[in-house]
Amino acid sequence: MSGAPIIELDDVRKTYLAGSLSVDALRGITLRVDEGDYLAVMGPSGSGKSTLMHILGCLDVPTSGTYLLSGEDVGSLGEARLAEIRNRRIGFVFQQFNLLPSMTAWRNVELPLMYAGVHRDERKERAVAALESVGLGNRVDHRPGELSGGQQQRVSVARALVTEPSLLLADEPTGNLDSASTEDILGLFDELHAQGRTIVVITHEHEVAARSARAMLIRDGELYAADPMDAATTHGVTA
Ligand SMILES: Nc1ncnc2c1ncn2[C@@H]1O[C@H](COP(=O)(O)OP(=O)(O)OP(=O)(O)O)[C@@H](O)[C@H]1O
Ligand SMILES: [Mg+2]
Protein backbone atom coordinates (compact mmCIF):
# COMPACT_ATOMS: atom_id res chain seq x y z
CA MET A 1 0.00 0.00 0.00
CA SER A 2 2.50 2.60 1.11
CA GLY A 3 5.86 3.07 -0.53
CA ALA A 4 9.26 4.46 0.28
CA PRO A 5 9.66 6.99 3.09
CA ILE A 6 9.23 10.59 1.96
CA ILE A 7 9.53 12.27 5.37
CA GLU A 8 11.67 10.95 8.23
CA LEU A 9 11.95 13.22 11.24
CA ASP A 10 14.05 11.98 14.13
CA ASP A 11 13.86 13.81 17.46
CA VAL A 12 13.43 17.18 15.77
CA ARG A 13 13.56 20.17 18.09
CA LYS A 14 13.09 23.83 17.33
CA THR A 15 13.94 26.51 19.84
CA TYR A 16 13.24 30.13 19.04
CA LEU A 17 15.26 32.81 20.77
CA ALA A 18 13.47 36.13 21.18
CA GLY A 19 15.63 38.45 23.27
CA SER A 20 16.33 36.68 26.58
CA LEU A 21 13.33 34.36 26.14
CA SER A 22 13.66 30.97 24.49
CA VAL A 23 10.61 29.06 23.29
CA ASP A 24 10.75 25.31 22.68
CA ALA A 25 8.28 25.22 19.79
CA LEU A 26 9.03 21.58 18.84
CA ARG A 27 10.14 19.21 21.56
CA GLY A 28 11.38 16.01 20.00
CA ILE A 29 9.24 15.20 16.97
CA THR A 30 9.72 11.78 15.39
CA LEU A 31 7.58 11.16 12.35
CA ARG A 32 7.64 9.05 9.22
CA VAL A 33 5.43 9.69 6.21
CA ASP A 34 5.59 7.19 3.36
CA GLU A 35 4.84 7.65 -0.31
CA GLY A 36 1.07 7.62 -0.82
CA ASP A 37 0.29 8.58 2.77
CA TYR A 38 -2.34 11.22 3.59
CA LEU A 39 -1.64 12.71 7.00
CA ALA A 40 -3.54 15.43 8.85
CA VAL A 41 -1.85 17.32 11.69
CA MET A 42 -4.13 19.07 14.12
CA GLY A 43 -3.44 21.12 17.22
CA PRO A 44 -4.42 24.24 19.11
CA SER A 45 -2.99 27.71 18.54
CA GLY A 46 0.65 27.99 19.53
CA SER A 47 1.17 24.20 19.59
CA GLY A 48 3.86 24.25 16.86
CA LYS A 49 1.91 23.49 13.67
CA SER A 50 3.41 26.30 11.59
CA THR A 51 6.86 25.59 12.97
CA LEU A 52 6.52 21.94 11.91
CA MET A 53 5.14 23.00 8.52
CA HIS A 54 8.10 25.33 7.93
CA ILE A 55 10.54 22.56 8.71
CA LEU A 56 8.73 19.98 6.57
CA GLY A 57 8.63 22.53 3.73
CA CYS A 58 12.36 23.33 4.04
CA LEU A 59 11.51 26.94 4.86
CA ASP A 60 13.36 26.56 8.14
CA VAL A 61 15.76 24.04 9.66
CA PRO A 62 15.60 22.22 13.03
CA THR A 63 17.67 23.37 16.02
CA SER A 64 18.55 19.70 16.53
CA GLY A 65 17.49 16.30 15.24
CA THR A 66 17.42 15.15 11.64
CA TYR A 67 15.05 15.56 8.72
CA LEU A 68 15.46 13.23 5.77
CA LEU A 69 13.36 14.17 2.73
CA SER A 70 13.29 11.22 0.35
CA GLY A 71 16.41 10.01 2.14
CA GLU A 72 18.35 13.28 1.82
CA ASP A 73 19.45 15.03 5.01
CA VAL A 74 18.11 18.54 4.44
CA GLY A 75 19.42 19.92 7.74
CA SER A 76 22.90 20.17 6.29
CA LEU A 77 21.99 21.97 3.06
CA GLY A 78 22.59 25.60 2.18
CA GLU A 79 19.86 28.06 1.20
CA ALA A 80 20.34 27.67 -2.57
CA ARG A 81 19.86 23.91 -2.44
CA LEU A 82 16.90 24.28 -0.04
CA ALA A 83 15.26 26.71 -2.48
CA GLU A 84 15.72 24.16 -5.23
CA ILE A 85 14.15 21.43 -3.08
CA ARG A 86 11.19 23.71 -2.27
CA ASN A 87 10.71 24.34 -5.96
CA ARG A 88 11.12 20.78 -7.26
CA ARG A 89 10.15 18.39 -4.52
CA ILE A 90 7.45 20.14 -2.47
CA GLY A 91 4.12 21.57 -3.58
CA PHE A 92 2.67 24.17 -1.21
CA VAL A 93 -1.00 25.02 -0.74
CA PHE A 94 -1.82 27.90 1.59
CA GLN A 95 -4.94 29.21 3.30
CA GLN A 96 -4.78 32.46 1.28
CA PHE A 97 -4.48 31.03 -2.20
CA ASN A 98 -1.52 33.34 -2.98
CA LEU A 99 -2.48 33.67 -6.65
CA LEU A 100 -1.39 36.69 -8.67
CA PRO A 101 -4.66 38.53 -9.42
CA SER A 102 -3.64 40.00 -12.78
CA MET A 103 -2.53 36.69 -14.24
CA THR A 104 -4.73 33.99 -15.74
CA ALA A 105 -5.02 30.57 -14.12
CA TRP A 106 -2.47 28.94 -16.41
CA ARG A 107 0.00 31.81 -15.97
CA ASN A 108 -0.24 31.36 -12.21
CA VAL A 109 0.27 27.62 -12.53
CA GLU A 110 3.32 27.93 -14.79
CA LEU A 111 5.24 30.09 -12.28
CA PRO A 112 7.07 27.27 -10.46
CA LEU A 113 8.17 25.97 -13.88
CA MET A 114 9.62 29.38 -14.73
CA TYR A 115 11.70 29.26 -11.55
CA ALA A 116 12.74 25.73 -12.52
CA GLY A 117 13.94 26.96 -15.92
CA VAL A 118 11.48 24.96 -18.03
CA HIS A 119 11.07 26.14 -21.65
CA ARG A 120 7.95 28.25 -22.32
CA ASP A 121 6.13 25.87 -24.67
CA GLU A 122 6.51 23.03 -22.23
CA ARG A 123 5.41 25.33 -19.39
CA LYS A 124 2.08 26.11 -20.99
CA GLU A 125 1.45 22.49 -21.86
CA ARG A 126 2.18 21.32 -18.32
CA ALA A 127 0.23 24.18 -16.70
CA VAL A 128 -2.86 23.38 -18.77
CA ALA A 129 -2.48 19.66 -18.01
CA ALA A 130 -2.23 20.42 -14.27
CA LEU A 131 -5.38 22.55 -14.46
CA GLU A 132 -7.15 19.74 -16.30
CA SER A 133 -6.06 17.31 -13.59
CA VAL A 134 -7.85 19.43 -10.95
CA GLY A 135 -10.96 19.74 -13.11
CA LEU A 136 -10.33 23.28 -14.38
CA GLY A 137 -9.57 22.58 -18.03
CA ASN A 138 -12.38 25.00 -18.93
CA ARG A 139 -11.02 27.85 -16.78
CA VAL A 140 -7.39 28.16 -17.92
CA ASP A 141 -7.79 31.75 -19.17
CA HIS A 142 -9.78 32.99 -16.18
CA ARG A 143 -8.21 35.36 -13.68
CA PRO A 144 -8.52 34.56 -9.93
CA GLY A 145 -11.22 37.23 -9.50
CA GLU A 146 -13.32 35.41 -12.10
CA LEU A 147 -13.24 32.13 -10.14
CA SER A 148 -14.99 30.90 -7.00
CA GLY A 149 -13.01 30.37 -3.81
CA GLY A 150 -12.95 26.61 -4.32
CA GLN A 151 -11.81 27.06 -7.92
CA GLN A 152 -9.06 29.46 -6.84
CA GLN A 153 -7.85 26.88 -4.36
CA ARG A 154 -7.95 24.28 -7.17
CA VAL A 155 -5.68 26.57 -9.19
CA SER A 156 -3.26 26.73 -6.29
CA VAL A 157 -3.33 22.92 -6.02
CA ALA A 158 -2.55 22.74 -9.76
CA ARG A 159 0.34 25.17 -9.18
CA ALA A 160 1.57 22.96 -6.33
CA LEU A 161 1.44 19.83 -8.50
CA VAL A 162 2.82 21.20 -11.78
CA THR A 163 6.43 20.40 -10.86
CA GLU A 164 5.45 16.79 -9.98
CA PRO A 165 6.64 17.16 -6.36
CA SER A 166 7.06 14.13 -4.11
CA LEU A 167 5.13 15.88 -1.31
CA LEU A 168 2.02 18.07 -1.22
CA LEU A 169 2.04 20.25 1.92
CA ALA A 170 -1.16 22.12 2.71
CA ASP A 171 -1.47 24.66 5.53
CA GLU A 172 -5.13 25.25 6.46
CA PRO A 173 -6.17 24.73 2.80
CA THR A 174 -9.87 25.09 3.58
CA GLY A 175 -9.52 27.88 6.14
CA ASN A 176 -10.88 30.51 3.74
CA LEU A 177 -13.54 28.37 2.08
CA ASP A 178 -17.27 27.97 2.67
CA SER A 179 -18.59 24.47 3.30
CA ALA A 180 -19.38 23.69 -0.36
CA SER A 181 -15.88 24.74 -1.49
CA THR A 182 -14.34 22.87 1.44
CA GLU A 183 -16.11 19.73 0.24
CA ASP A 184 -14.84 20.46 -3.27
CA ILE A 185 -11.21 20.65 -2.13
CA LEU A 186 -11.53 17.61 0.15
CA GLY A 187 -12.92 15.67 -2.81
CA LEU A 188 -9.91 16.75 -4.86
CA PHE A 189 -7.53 15.62 -2.08
CA ASP A 190 -9.36 12.26 -2.00
CA GLU A 191 -8.69 11.90 -5.73
CA LEU A 192 -5.03 12.87 -5.36
CA HIS A 193 -4.63 10.40 -2.52
CA ALA A 194 -6.24 7.68 -4.65
CA GLN A 195 -3.71 8.50 -7.40
CA GLY A 196 -0.91 7.83 -4.91
CA ARG A 197 0.09 11.41 -4.04
CA THR A 198 1.68 12.03 -0.66
CA ILE A 199 -0.26 14.68 1.26
CA VAL A 200 0.36 16.38 4.61
CA VAL A 201 -2.34 18.80 5.66
CA ILE A 202 -2.30 21.07 8.67
CA THR A 203 -5.76 21.97 9.80
CA HIS A 204 -7.95 23.20 12.62
CA GLU A 205 -11.00 21.58 11.08
CA HIS A 206 -12.22 18.23 12.27
CA GLU A 207 -14.00 17.49 8.99
CA VAL A 208 -10.70 17.90 7.14
CA ALA A 209 -8.82 15.55 9.48
CA ALA A 210 -11.69 13.06 9.24
CA ARG A 211 -11.00 12.69 5.50
CA SER A 212 -7.31 11.90 5.92
CA ALA A 213 -5.88 8.40 6.13
CA ARG A 214 -4.01 9.19 9.36
CA ALA A 215 -4.20 11.98 11.88
CA MET A 216 -1.74 13.30 14.44
CA LEU A 217 -2.18 15.87 17.16
CA ILE A 218 0.48 18.34 18.11
CA ARG A 219 0.34 19.87 21.55
CA ASP A 220 3.04 21.93 23.25
CA GLY A 221 5.51 20.88 20.56
CA GLU A 222 4.91 17.15 20.92
CA LEU A 223 3.18 14.89 18.44
CA TYR A 224 0.58 12.22 19.27
CA ALA A 225 -1.18 9.67 17.08
CA ALA A 226 -4.92 10.20 16.81
CA ASP A 227 -7.95 8.64 15.23
CA PRO A 228 -8.83 10.73 12.14
CA MET A 229 -12.53 10.43 13.04
CA ASP A 230 -11.86 11.68 16.53
CA ALA A 231 -8.89 13.98 16.02
CA ALA A 232 -10.51 17.07 17.49
CA THR A 233 -11.22 15.55 20.86
CA THR A 234 -8.47 13.00 21.57
CA HIS A 235 -6.08 14.13 24.32
CA GLY A 236 -8.55 16.83 25.31
CA VAL A 237 -7.53 19.06 22.42
CA THR A 238 -10.32 21.15 21.02
CA ALA A 239 -8.97 22.52 17.79
N1 LIG B 1 9.85 33.40 15.07
C2 LIG B 1 9.52 33.09 16.33
N3 LIG B 1 10.23 33.57 17.38
C4 LIG B 1 9.92 33.24 18.65
N5 LIG B 1 8.90 32.41 19.00
C6 LIG B 1 8.16 31.89 18.01
C7 LIG B 1 8.41 32.21 16.62
N8 LIG B 1 7.51 31.54 15.86
C9 LIG B 1 6.72 30.86 16.72
N10 LIG B 1 7.11 31.06 18.00
C11 LIG B 1 6.51 30.43 19.20
O12 LIG B 1 6.56 29.02 19.00
C13 LIG B 1 5.35 28.40 19.44
C14 LIG B 1 4.72 27.63 18.27
O15 LIG B 1 4.30 28.56 17.28
P16 LIG B 1 3.59 28.12 15.91
O17 LIG B 1 3.50 29.32 15.05
O18 LIG B 1 4.30 26.95 15.36
O19 LIG B 1 2.13 27.69 16.43
P20 LIG B 1 0.83 27.21 15.59
O21 LIG B 1 0.47 25.87 16.12
O22 LIG B 1 1.08 27.36 14.15
O23 LIG B 1 -0.29 28.25 16.06
P24 LIG B 1 -1.53 28.89 15.23
O25 LIG B 1 -2.60 27.84 15.19
O26 LIG B 1 -1.95 30.05 16.12
O27 LIG B 1 -1.04 29.31 13.89
C28 LIG B 1 4.47 29.53 19.98
O29 LIG B 1 4.61 29.55 21.39
C30 LIG B 1 5.05 30.76 19.38
O31 LIG B 1 4.86 31.88 20.21
MG1 LIG C 1 0.25 28.59 12.66
| 25 Cβ below 6 A of ligand 1 | yes
Distance 47 CA to ligand 1 centre (A): 7
State mean pLDDT over 93-112: 96
Confidence at residue 231, expressed as pLDDT on a 0 to 100 scale: 56
Total residue count of the chain as it appears in this document: 239
Indicate which residue's Cα is closest to atom 18 of ligand 1: 48
pLDDT of residue 237: 46
pLDDT in tens, 199-209: 999 998 888 99
| Phi–psi pair at 153, nearest 5 degrees | -70, -35
| CATH code of the domain occupying 35-58+78-236 | 3.40.50.300
User: What value does the mean pLDDT of the chain take?
Assistant: 92
Nearest CA to ligand 1 atom 3: 16
**Residue 235 in this model has a pLDDT that exceeds 70:** no
pLDDT tens-digit readout, 212-229: 999 999 999 999 988 877
Mean pLDDT of the region 156-179: 94
50 CA → ligand 1 middle, Å: 7
Contact assessment for residue 169 and residue 53, using Cβ atoms and an 8 Å cutoff: yes
- Give the start-to-end residue ranges of the domains of the chain: 35-58+78-236
- Is the C-beta atom of 50 inside 6 A of ligand 1? yes
Neighbouring residues of 42: CB distance < 8 A, sequence distance ≥ 6: 49, 202, 203, 204, 206, 209, 215, 216, 217, 218, 226, 231, 232, 237, 239
CA of 21, closest atom in ligand 1: 4
Q: 169 forms bridges with which residues in the sheet? A: 92, 200
Instruction: Give the pairing of strands 222-226 and 90-93.
Output: unpaired
Q: Is the pLDDT of residue 2 over 90?
A: no
Across 42-69, average pLDDT: 94
Residue nearest to atom 17 of ligand 1 (CA): 50
Predicted local distance difference test score (pLDDT) of residue 205: 87
Residue whose CA lies nearest to ligand 1 atom number 4? 16
